Structure 1
Amino acid sequence: MARATSFKALALLPAFALAGLTLACGAGGNGSGGTAPSAGAPAPQEIPAETKDAALAAMVPAAIAADGKIVVGQDQSYAPNEFVDNGKVVGFDVDLGNAIAQKLGLTAEFQNAAFSGIIAGVGSGQYEMAMSSFTINAERLQTVDMVSYYSAGTSLAVPKGNPDKISLDDLCGKNIAVQQGTVQVDDLTKRSEDCTKAGKPAINMQQFQAQTDVNLQVQTKRSQGMLADSPVVDYAIKQTDGNVEVVGQPYDSAPYGIALKKDQGDYAKAVQSAVQAIIDDGTYAKILAKWGLNTAGAVQKAELNPAVS
C-alpha cells in the first residue's frame, strides 16, 4: 500500500548518520537525494489557473475562507509529489492543491511538517487540508474525511546494478531504508517477522524522517535497498541518473487521499467536487504529465471516503 501513517511503534533509528551528505527536508534540491536538473533542462510546464466556482466556494466554512487561504500540511521531502526546489515548494500535490484552492476562490499555503504528525494537525485544526501522498485506509477514515485523487503502489529500489541481488522475496538480513511513519514500515515489520519465523535473520529496517535521506542511503550504498511509493522511486531513478534502480513491479496499489477534518459542513464535498472539476477540465492530466506520474494511477472519479480494505 502506498504512503500512509503507520500507527505501529516505530523501530529505532540507525546509529550512524550521513554526516555532511544528507539533503535535509526543506533544504532545497530536487528531493531525490541526487543532483538538481541541469541548467539546460526544459522548464516545467506551467499549469493554467482554475476559474473560481462560486457554488463550491459558498460551501467552504467561513472560518477557512475568511483569510482567503487554505493552510495545507505536508512533508516536503517526497519528490515528485511534494518537495522543495530552489527554495520553492513544488510537486504533483502542490499543483493539484493550488488548483483546488483556486476552484474554491482561495489560495493554498503549504506548510512543511513531519509526515507522522500531519493527520493529527488536521484533527486539531492546525491544517485546513493535508496533501502529502496519504494512502486512504480504514483506520485513517475513522479520524478524517478523505478525497481520492491518485492510486500508487510500493516499489523496491536498490543501488545501480543491484550489487546484492536482492528481491522482495529475499530481504531477510538485509539493510532496507524507509521513511518514518509510512506504511512501508508496517510492510517491512511483517516481512521481518516472517523471516524470523522461518529461522532466517530479521530485516534491518533503517528509518529516516525525510524521504530524501532514504533515497541518499541507497544512492551511497549505505542501504542495500529501500521501499517507497512507486512515483517516488520512479522519480528518484530519473534524478539520480540511474544510480538507483527498481526491482520487480509495484505492489499493493491503493488511492491517495486529501485529508480533511470531519464535521465541517459541506467542506469535504466542496473539495471532492473541485477535484472532479479539475479532472473533467483536463488540468489534472496536465499536472500528471508535468511530473511524469504514471497515467495508470490516474482516477476518473474523485470519491469522498471511498470503501477500502
Structure 2
Amino acid sequence: MLKQFVCRAAFLGLALLPAAAGAGEIPKAIKDAGVLKLSINATYPPMEYKDPETNTFKGLDIDLVDALAAKLGLKVERTDGLFAQLTPALTTGRTDFILSGMTDTPARRETMDFVNYMRAGAMFYTLTSSALKDPVELCGKKIATVRSTTYPGQVKDWSDENCVKAGKGPIEVVGTESSPDARLQLKQGRVDAAVQGGETIPFTSKQEGGIYKVIGKPMTVVYYGAAFRKTDSAFRDAVADALQELVKDGTYGKIFEKWELSDSALPAIMINSQPR
C-alpha cells in the first residue's frame, strides 16, 4: 500500500511539472562576467527608445530586461543599432540574446528560438489630417514600413487578399530603415500611410503631438519574443523561468501597466509561440 502511495505521489508530482519546460541554466561565461550583453534597436517607443533629455534608454523592453537581470543577479550592457543588425549580432556571438520588439515567426524560428513575453499585431496608420478611414481605401496606395521586419510581407499578404482579389490595385510597399524614417516619409507626403505594431502607435502619436490615427484593426496577431541561438536552449529556458517568476511576483504586470500595455500582456510566458 505504501509503495503504491509513493508511486502515485511521484506520478502526480511529475504531472504537475510544465510539459515543455527544460532545465534552465545561465552560461558560465555570462555568470563569470556578471553581465548580459544585449543588442537593441532603440527607435520603437514604447518598447525601446532613447530619451532625448537624459540620453538614456527607456521603454517596456528596457524595464523588462532590467527586472530580468536583477532576478538573475546580473547587470545589463546594451548596444544600439539598426533592427537589421540584431540577428547577425546574435548569430556571430556579439550579443547574448535579443529582446527588442522582435516578432516570433516560423521563418525566424528556423535559426532562432523565442521566449514569448507579449502579444502584438501590425496596424495601418496615417496622419489625423488624412481622409483615409477604412483599410480598403489603401488599395493602390503607398505604405511605408521597416523593410527588415515582418511587416512588408504581412502588408503584401493583406493586399493580395483584400485588394488584388477584389480587382483593386495592390498596395505599394515602401521599405524604410526604421520606424522614424517611415513616419518621416508619411509626414513629408511621400506615402499615404504606414505600418507598425498597433501597441506602439498611441504612444508614438502622443509623443509627436497626436498627429497619427490608426486605420482598421490589427492585420495579424503575433507574439514578441526574446530570441536565442538554437544551441542555447538551456539559457533560453533559464530566461523563460526568470520571466515567469516576474509574472508570478507581479513585476511583469506592473511594467505592462506602466507603459499602458496591459492588454498585450500574456498570462504565462511561452516558447516558440506555444505554451510551455
Q: TM-score range by the shorter chain?
A: 0.7 to 0.9
After superposition, the Cα gap between the structure-2 partners of 1:198 and 1:306, relative to the gap in structure 1 and judged at 3 Å, is closer
- Contact kept, 8 Å, 2:154 with 2:219, in 1: the verdict is no
Tell me the equivalent position of 1:104.
72
Per-residue CA deviation, residues 83-130 of structure 1 (Å, 9 max, x unaligned), is 111221111101101111111111111211221231232122111010
After superposition, the Cα gap between the structure-2 partners of 1:265 and 1:181, relative to the gap in structure 1 and judged at 3 Å, is closer
1:173 aligns with one of 140, 145, 153: 140
> TM-score, normalised to structure 1's length?
0.74
1:69 aligns with one of 30, 35, 46: 35
- Contact kept, 8 Å, 2:145 with 2:179, in 1: the verdict is yes
Deviation (angstroms), 1:250: 2.1
Mapped partners of 1:283, 1:101: distance in 2: 13
Mapped partners of 1:240, 1:220: distance in 2: 14
Per-residue CA deviation, residues 204-230 of structure 1 (Å, 9 max, x unaligned), is 322211111212333444321111101
- Contact kept, 8 Å, 1:219 with 1:243, in 2: the verdict is no
Q: Which has the higher helix share?
A: 2
Tell me the equivalent position of 1:49.
none
- Contact kept, 8 Å, 1:61 with 1:265, in 2: the verdict is no
- Contact kept, 8 Å, 2:115 with 2:272, in 1: the verdict is yes
- The size of the alignment, in residue pairs, is 249
CA radius of gyration, larger in: 2
- Contact kept, 8 Å, 1:159 with 1:245, in 2: the verdict is yes
Matches for 1:191-270 after TM superposition, within 5 Å: 191-193=158-160, 195=163, 200-264=168-232, 266-270=234-238
- Amino acid in the other structure paired with 2:29: A
Tell me the equivalent position of 1:81.
47
Deviation (angstroms), 1:192: 4.7
* SS class of match (1:299): strand
Tell me the equivalent position of 1:283.
251
> TM-score, normalised to structure 2's length?
0.83
* SS class of match (1:267): helix
1:154 aligns with one of 114, 122, 134: 122
* SS class of match (1:207): strand
Deviation (angstroms), 1:197: 6.3
- Amino acid in the other structure paired with 1:208: T
Per-residue CA deviation, residues 53-90 of structure 1 (Å, 9 max, x unaligned), is xxxxx921112222211111121111110111122111
- Amino acid in the other structure paired with 2:47: N
After superposition, the Cα gap between the structure-2 partners of 1:273 and 1:174, relative to the gap in structure 1 and judged at 3 Å, is same
Deviation (angstroms), 1:166: 4.9
* SS class of match (1:182): coil
- Amino acid in the other structure paired with 2:110: Q
* SS class of match (1:60): coil
After superposition, the Cα gap between the structure-2 partners of 1:247 and 1:209, relative to the gap in structure 1 and judged at 3 Å, is same
Mapped partners of 2:200, 2:214: distance in 1: 11
Mapped partners of 2:206, 2:164: distance in 1: 35
Shift >6 Å, 4+ stretches: none
Structure 2 regions of 5+ residues with no counterpart? 1-23
